[in-house]
Amino acid sequence: MPLRLGTKVFGDDELLVMAIVNRTRDSFYDGARTFELDAAVAAVDRAVADGAAIVDIGGVRAGAGPEVDVEEEIRRTVDVVAAVRRRHSDVVLSVDTWRAEVGRAVAEAGADLLNDAWGGYDPDLAQAAAEAGIGLVCTHAGGLAPRTDPDHPYYDDVTGDVVTTVVGLAERAVSLGVAPESILIDPGHDFGKTTAQSLRITRELERLTATGWPVLVALSRKDFIGETLGLPATDRLEGTLAATAVEAWLGARVFRAHDVVATRRVLDTVASIRGDRPPAVARRGLG
């Protein structure tokens, strides 16, 4: 199906980069580099210039850490959304939150998409997206509460559980009034999963793309990449890009990434191999 986010409609052959901009002091990779408002806005400017079609703004670290209450999360996200919307009228603005109060606040400020990485933990978040007429990312998190790590998660069929869960969340969102063409599903790599389980959903992604819902994958420098290679977050780019190429080939459409330029180049290469994008230059052997 087509994907409609904000003012943009994306075809099913388009591979999109969702740039990560965190307004946190304790990001597992970025640290506090984009915590200050000016730094966050500048990071969005760079991401757009580098080819990001979507920018995902987060105000709370996904992992354990100091508490960030609703008011503080709103403070960290709303002013970025408002500032970026004034500078970039057509870029798709996403906010990574599980809280309906935050969702309503950022929607009013100009957000186009709510990225619910915690799998509907707050059931009112989908309603907030419906009320605002904006999009929603429906993610599998294994039933975990926000900011908690998995403890020996077990699934008879992890990919099957992912498919059932995210399709159920998407269908619920539609029943509440979210437009079907503005919904994405995310298998939730690392969230409620061991490394082996994240690797399995990676190679079995076609089971998600077969549902017909546009698939978003958030692979960038995650622990399953680090454990696969035995490397810290700073050294996981090559592993991330390998997984990105695999998932693009298997049908994912949106790629949440720290490294926009590298991700964009990988996606362009995959698109050209598939025959969906002509080479930027075609003169070899042509005289």
25 is catalytic: no
Residue type, 74: I
**DSSP classification of residue 27:** B
In a domain, 231, yes or no: yes
Q: Is residue 279 in some structural domain? A: no
pLDDT score recorded for residue 66? 87
Active-site residue flag, 256: yes
pLDDT tens for the chain, 287 residues long, are: 789 999 999 999 999 999 999 998 877 667 678 888 999 999 999 999 999 999 999 999 988 888 999 999 999 999 999 999 999 999 999 999 999 999 999 999 999 999 999 999 999 999 999 999 999 999 999 999 999 999 999 999 999 999 999 999 999 999 999 999 999 999 999 999 999 999 999 999 999 999 999 999 999 999 999 999 999 999 999 999 999 999 999 999 999 999 999 999 999 999 999 999 999 999 999 97
Which listed residue (23, 76, 221, 222) is catalytic?
222
Strand stretches in the chain, DSSP E: 3-5, 8-10, 16-22, 54-58, 92-96, 113-116, 135-139, 183-186, 216-218, 254-257
Residue 90 lies in a domain: yes
Closest CA to 93 of 195, 8, 31: 8
Residue 1's pLDDT is 73
Q: Measured at the alpha carbon of residue 84, what is the angle toward residues 83 and 86, in degrees to the nearest 5?
A: 70
The pLDDT of residue 31 is 63
- The answer as to whether 172 is a domain residue is yes
Q: What is the dihedral of CA 83, 79, 262, 54, to 10 degrees?
A: -80
pLDDT at 54: 98
Domain contains 286: no
Phi-psi region of 68 (alpha: psi -120 to 50; beta: other; left: phi over 0): beta
| Maximum CA extent, the chain | 64
Task: Give the pTM.
Answer: 0.95
Nearest residue to 80 via CA among 8, 4, 19, 10 = 19
> In which domain, by residue range, is 132 found?
3-274
Number of domains the chain is built from: 1
> What CATH number corresponds to the domain at position 8?
3.20.20.20
24 falls within a domain:
yes
In the prediction, which pLDDT does 29 show? Answer: 66
115 occurs within a structural domain: yes
In a domain, 35, yes or no: yes
Task: Return the ∠ at Cα 228 (arms to 224 and 232), rounded to 5°.
Answer: 75
